[in-house]
Structure 1
Amino acid sequence: MITNPLFYAAAIPAVTLMGLAKGGFSGLGLLSLPLMALVVSPVQAAAITLPLLIVQDVVSVWAYRYTWDKRNVVLLVAGAMSGILTGYLLAAQVSDAAIKLSVGVISVAFAIRRMVLERSATPPEAAPADTPRGLFWGWVTGFTSMIAHAGGPPFQIYVMPQKLPRDVFVGTGAVVFAIINWIKVPPYMALGQFTMENLTTAAALFPVAIASTWAGVLLVRRVSGQSFYTAVYILLVLVGAKLIYDGAGTLI
């Protein structure tokens, strides 16, 4: 287990952000890995993070077990399975910086466009959960999650135009990413990332992971549906900007 106090000074806030994201404030979790990567390698940070995400998934899925959309889950997970496989096979050839830059640009453009449309005189009708888009964005979600740990924005780009009730939107994301995280376990094992040091360090952070996820659930349920969606659009812009910064900074 990692015993360096500096690591936990970065890891505890990082895991708290992950928990708030799992509780419903989508996007905050994307800031966690950069925080942890300040004190350990990005690869080790990712390996420590995955068991924590799986524990947090248990809390979020339980909290939203009655409010999730089955059709969306089936379509997105079906696409994500092939996306994760693609990411695993191409991990050595694909630049995570390029993926982050691309996802960041698409996320910012999407969020700004939707905020403008939603405030127009005739806001767009809710989009259906159609098969081609669901499979495509599911693939993108799985691929970006495997390569650059950035699966949240593609999921939001597909689901948010459907204008689902707040709890159904959060619950659908909880179930989708719970399944995706378990699918990612074999590739992580194959890459040799689950060392005893990483697993015991993750176990030490479990209490923070669980408490912060419950905090996220309780906070989200105090926010109205309209305010929640506005907050998610703003977070998507901020997260997209962060991805652009990270990706462009590495490529330049």
Structure 2
Amino acid sequence: MLPDMHFYAIAIPAVLLVGLSKGGMGEALSLMGVPLLSLAVSPVQAAALLLPILIAMDIVSLWIWRKHGDSATLKIMLPGAIAGIAIGWATAAYVPRDALRLIIGGITVLFVLRYVYNLWRARHGVIIPAKGHRPLQATFFGAFAGYGSFVAHAGGPPFQIYALPLKLPPRDYTGTIVRFFAVLNVVKLLPYFALGQLDLSNLKTSLTLFPLAMAATACGAWLVRRMRPDVFYPFMYTMALCAGLKLIWDGIGVVLAGS
């Protein structure tokens, strides 16, 4: 049996936000999906409902951004990310997710503050060049992204911490993050099934939201395609800051509620 209208009144805005994010509008919007959907169902079920929807969105995003991406970034980050998913699967029953949210959120906020400091330096004549690839950092932040994506649906900020300083062209950056999380979402299917978080009832409910998910993803991509680099990167860093603050807020909220 499909959920009632109360569920869809909450699920539709959640899917719209996640869809805009998957189109390239920034991870902060995506982080709102599970908490918002959790107003109608349990957090575990919310995550399970969103995973098939995320994969449907990935298909749309991969088609839209098929001509853009940076293969070097994917090659250097994906091995660590897949290892991070495996670690998340093995430790799912033991990891305090809210502590992880606090850690990821804190690191992300510090990362954005460093960007603001570099902007201040640039205005005083100090040129901040794009960073090259750093294998050790790529493996660490790739694993952090995979782990965070699996246990708390919070893999975007660690990816941004590594990839944004590369200063890729906006379309290549978007195509890269789309490919990165498309791979991770497919890899996550097996452990999610193994942990019993996906069943036929949830899949049927997810299916009803597919058309909206695809439309929202296309809309997000349409907006990103029209952003100049001098608009795109400040916007992405702002979204990263919002994501970091949201993760800190969620983590602190649960800690205070339990104290």
TM-score computed with the length of structure 2 as normaliser: 0.95
Note the C-alpha offset of 1:224.
Answer: 1.1
Matches of 1:14 and 1:164, distance apart in 2: 29
Matches of 1:123 and 1:23, distance apart in 2: 31
Matches of 2:129 and 2:14, distance apart in 1: 37
2:228 is the alignment partner of 1:224? yes
The 5 Å alignment of 1:86-165 reads: 86-120=87-121, 121=124, 122-165=126-169
Q: Which runs of 4+ in 1 moved over 4 A?
A: none
1:2 alignment partner, SS class? coil
1:194 alignment partner, SS class? coil
Note the C-alpha offset of 1:29.
Answer: 0.6
2:32 alignment partner, SS class? helix
The 5 Å alignment of 1:1-252 reads: 1-27=1-27, 28-120=29-121, 121=124, 122-252=126-256
Matches of 2:213 and 2:64, distance apart in 1: 15
The amino acid of 1:224's aligned partner reads R
Note the C-alpha offset of 1:192.
Answer: 1.1
Identity of paired residues, percent? 43
The amino acid of 2:216's aligned partner reads S
> CA offsets per residue over residues 73-123 of structure 1, 9 Å max, x none?
112110011100000111111110000011111111101211220342314
> CA offsets per residue over residues 159-181 of structure 1, 9 Å max, x none?
00000000011000000000000
Structure 1 gap ranges (5+): none
1:227 alignment partner, SS class? helix
Matches of 2:166 and 2:116, distance apart in 1: 14
Contact 1:115 1:233 in 2 (8 A): no
TM-score computed with the length of structure 1 as normaliser: 0.98
Structure 2 gap ranges (5+): none
Matches of 1:123 and 1:155, distance apart in 2: 24
Q: Which moved more, 1:138-147 or 1:69-78?
A: 69-78
Matches of 1:135 and 1:153, distance apart in 2: 15
Matches of 1:127 and 1:192, distance apart in 2: 41
Q: Which moved more, 1:171-180 or 1:4-13?
A: 4-13
The amino acid of 2:222's aligned partner reads L
Note the C-alpha offset of 1:72.
Answer: 0.7
Matches of 1:117 and 1:63, distance apart in 2: 33
> CA offsets per residue over residues 17-64 of structure 1, 9 Å max, x none?
111111111111111110000110000000010000001001111111
The amino acid of 2:96's aligned partner reads S
